[in-house]
Chain A
Amino acid sequence: MNYRMVLYILGKVIGVEGFFLLAPAVCGIIYGQSFLPYFLWAASLCAISLLLCFKKPQQTEIHSRDGFISVALCWIVLSLLGAVPFLLTGEMNSFFDAFFEIVSGFTTTGASVVANVEGLSHASLLWRSLSQWLGGMGVLVFVLAVMPKADMKNARYMHLMRAEVPGPTVDKLVPKIAHTARVMYGIYLGLTVVEVVFLLFGGMDVFEALTHSFSTASTGGFGIKNTSIGGYSPYIQYVIATFMLLFGINLNIFYLLLTGHIFKALKSEEFWWYIGIAATAVVVIMLSIFGQYNGTEGAFRAAYFQVASIMTTSGFSTADFTKWPVLAQAMLVLLMFIGGSTGCTAGGIKVGRVLLLGKNAKREAGYLLHPNLVRSVKVDGRSVAAETIRGTTSFIIVYIIIFVISTLLLIAVESCDLVTGFTTVTTAINNVGPGLAAVGPASNFAHFTDFSKLLLCAVMLIGRLEIFPILILFSPSSWRR
């Protein structure tokens, strides 16, 4: 293990967090609210970062293990430090509440323990949304994007990217990793800006447009109103729903479109399955909730918005879907598990993995029918490597094990009903936000015990980093020489 290098990377990450904390501080000044806690904390994080990055390690080489451990460690430290401002401003009294809130932010979950969101200061609201924006694309990817050229030599930063960016395989878009990171953030930022413009056009003020765009881009789902998006005009609901769906598409597709490879972009199987699943879900839910709404438009809008929000694991809401028919609710829970595409900010198992597993299952059935069958699993017309399939299968198995254990633990501690227990963990591990029953869109997570909050924080982090980094961090064998 290259401890010096892990600390160095950690220092950079803390620096980035300090830099981003300046935004709420400035926001506080603009709105004439207290900005000192944010400003002081930002300054101290920058100081810590300078201290850790003061001397560049001689040995910059990192390996797979260092990559996973740095990423897991960075995310935990990031959350611990990010929770402090909420306590400093006095808006939250319990450390567990603040930690839960910020983990929910960074992991783009969007589950909140705050009952009255409108009571929070503008600075804190901005910090919640900004934490989602940063966590969506990944803070280490950001570090890689802004890393000076001289630092990129000789180090194997691909391990960092691989551990942080979701998906069964992570590929570069262009030869240089820093350049790839910059392209990714470029597309991300570009789309965010477009959304801000659309929202401003719909009559939101700058603050609302920014915070909602940050939360949409990251498919996070922190709103700044108690009714989430429900109080806004149909135009804004459509804009936010459409952008959520856009941010649930693999970034590679945007890159291909931007570089003029339109046909190649449209050849992606995952993309069409993603669109297909979303469309089917909209139709099914619309039909099932038709009776509760007046007119087709209302039912379509509610179904479209909720499918976009749940499938991309954002978690915004325009309606309390706990009151919907059970079929619609079950459909939403299914969407929570499927999640968005690979290589985007959405959580969940990912359409790509589901697709791969489905095709693999079909092949296995084929083997039973024809014992001497030779068939490879093909996605986008190419056969998928056996290792990728193996990796995906083991991912699913570990995912289920963690899911089951967490659900049992939660139900044991909370002695809540099965639906609440099941959907709470579902919503946490898939980074969605709202669940059903006691954790529906109209409720919040404040009623859980501190132990459950910590458990859910762990589950959210595990879900965001796709399980293995956190497990590796806490397995003793990783720390042996």
Chain B
Amino acid sequence: MDFGLLAFSIFSTIAILGSIMVILKKSPVAAAFSLVLVFFAFAGLYALMGAHLVAALQILVYTGAIMVLFVFVIMLLSQDEPVNDLKESSGLFKGVSVLGILGLMGLLIRAVLTARGMVPTGTLTDEKIVSMGGNVRLISEGIFTDHVFHFELTSFLLLGAVVSTVALAKRKAVSGGSKA
């Protein structure tokens, strides 16, 4: 068995088991950490496909930033007793959910089967990317030349989000406002 296949089997097993654990774990923190496992396994899969930058970004952004956010929210909500409302949901709801999931799965399988043997089209082939200096270089050049307007606009979006959060979160600052 060659190394690639072995690594793929390990990473995909971790990903599948991790995803199942995310749903089955009763404690939100345990579920969140199972999700970290899934993200790590995904990063491994990306690296296997040769997308090293995506793998690194996956760990930095998802495992680093987004998971910290998840854990913070869980801590802030501090939900002590685990909620298990699936048992109380109606049979119709369960049936519709299962049908929806099966439909989505069928769609994905069909997409994978259709795409078998297809090769990506486009001007950027693997060799060309290497000759132009690699993914990191291409993406950073793209961000700061062609897409600099998107980039700057997005920073103002984030700035607006930060100011909005502060404005709405500091409730005590209001004095003598209208009484509801």
Q: Do A and B bind each other?
A: no
B residues sitting closer than 8 Å to A (CB atoms) are none
